[in-house]
Amino acid sequence: MNRGLSGRKGHRMEGVIALFIPIALFIAVTIVICIFFYFRYRNAAEIQRTARTAIEQGQELSPEFLSTLSEQARPGSSDLRRGVIAIAIGLGLAAFGLLVGEDDATQPLLAIGSLPLIIGVAYLGLWKFSPRE
């Protein structure tokens, strides 16, 4: 007797698919974060390679180029911006969880939203207590 998708096998298949959706989400987020850090590293390495080549050839480095290097070495100036963005993401996720109205979605979205919110508060703390010129 063939029960199709409404039978026991179809129910099991829906459970497997429902399990892979959050796993795929976390894998996608991880890949995006890895790509971001890779390109950031590659950019910094390229700037260092350019500076090294210029020094080896005996060229004088311009003040603008040196200020670019010092800005990359001192991330404190961007802590305010990162903090505000992280807090906005956290509050947005929390608001989305509250607006959905589903009991099964509210608590997980509030929990997920608390992570960027706390990271944003930490960035604001770093910005507030970092030495500035």
Q: What is the pLDDT along the chain (133 residues), one digit of tens a residue?
A: 455 445 555 567 677 777 787 788 889 889 999 998 999 889 888 888 888 888 888 888 778 777 776 665 556 668 888 999 999 999 998 998 888 878 888 888 888 999 999 999 999 998 888 876 5
pLDDT given at position 25:
80
User: Which H or E element spans position 125?
Assistant: helix 103-129
User: Given this model, what pLDDT does residue 76 score?
Assistant: 62
Distance of CA 45 to the CA centre of its chain: 21
Cβ-contact 115, 104 below 8 angstroms: no
End-to-end alpha-carbon separation of the chain, Å?
79
Q: What does residue 65 show for φ and ψ, rounded to 5 degrees?
A: -65, -40
The percentage of residues in the chain with a pLDDT greater than 70, rounded to a whole number, is 82
pTM recorded for the entire structure = 0.52
Cα–Cα distance, 52 to 45 (Å, whole number): 10
CB neighbour burial string for 53-71, b if at least 16 within 10 angstroms, e if fewer: eeeeeeeeeeeeeeeeeee
pLDDT at 133: 58
Contact 79, 126 (CB under 8 A): yes
The predicted pLDDT at position 8 comes to: 57
The position carrying tokens 């890779």 is 38
